[in-house]
Amino acid sequence: MDGQLEKATLGGGCFWCLEAVYQELEGVEEIVSGYAGGHVPNPTYEQVCEKKTGHAEVVQVTFDPSRVSYREILEIFFATHDPTTLNRQGNDVGPQYRSIILTHDENQRRVATDLLAELAAERAFEDPIVTEIVPLTEFYPAELYHRNYYRQHRLQPYCTFVISPKVAKIRKKFANRLKTRT
């Protein structure tokens, strides 16, 4: 670790998926699943699932910007979920599964806004991108049983059929940015 660590907070469907993807990335020091973007303090998973808290399932990624840039974090984010579906990722439906970037400062807002504009101009997706970019006001860590979920439950059907293909895609597309396996 060369310098000051930074945080990125992102929601793109089930937080288990994003957590598993970012665990692969060189320069990522910690990933915490949680909730953000809503109005209810200290929400529980059950409350968020009731769709009345306004929160999205998110991950907070602590990373070393000397090893991986915020833009690279976002490029992986856009490569591993569908940013064109409102409140839905595959069979996961509801506002808690929306595509959202919660920025920590003005620089992150600028990088996210610029990348979103580039993707739109390139027509990187068939449909318009609906990803929200909003300032982070509060992050609430998820219950412990949600953390490190994929690594602990790799053979569970959701992990096998939903998360494993996303991890495989990242391993292929971003092979030069991944942690070496021992």
Say how many domains are in the chain: 1
CATH of the domain at 163: 3.30.1060.10
CB 140 within 8 A of CB 35: yes
Whose tokens are 């030069």? That residue is: 176
pLDDT at position 43 is 97
Please report, rounded to a whole number, the percentage of residues in the chain having pLDDT higher than 70: 97
Residue 23 belongs to a domain: yes
Residue 111 belongs to a domain: yes
pLDDT at position 180 is 63
CB 73 within 8 A of CB 66: no
Whose tokens are 């490190």? That residue is: 148
Instruction: State yes or no: is 14 an active-site residue.
Output: yes
Residue 45 belongs to a domain: yes
Residue 19 belongs to what domain range? 6-175
Write down the mean pLDDT value for the chain.
Answer: 93
Residue 58 belongs to a domain: yes
Question: Which of 14, 17, 49, 159 is flagged as catalytic?
Answer: 14
CB 84 within 8 A of CB 102: no
Q: Is 84 exposed, middle or buried (0-12, 13-18, 19+ CB in 10 A)?
A: middle
Mean per-residue pLDDT, 24-38: 95
Cβ within 8 Å of residue 24, ≥6 positions away:
167, 170, 171, 174, 178, 179
Residue 1 belongs to a domain: no
Residue 181 belongs to a domain: no
Residue 182 belongs to a domain: no
Q: Which amino acid is at 83?
A: P
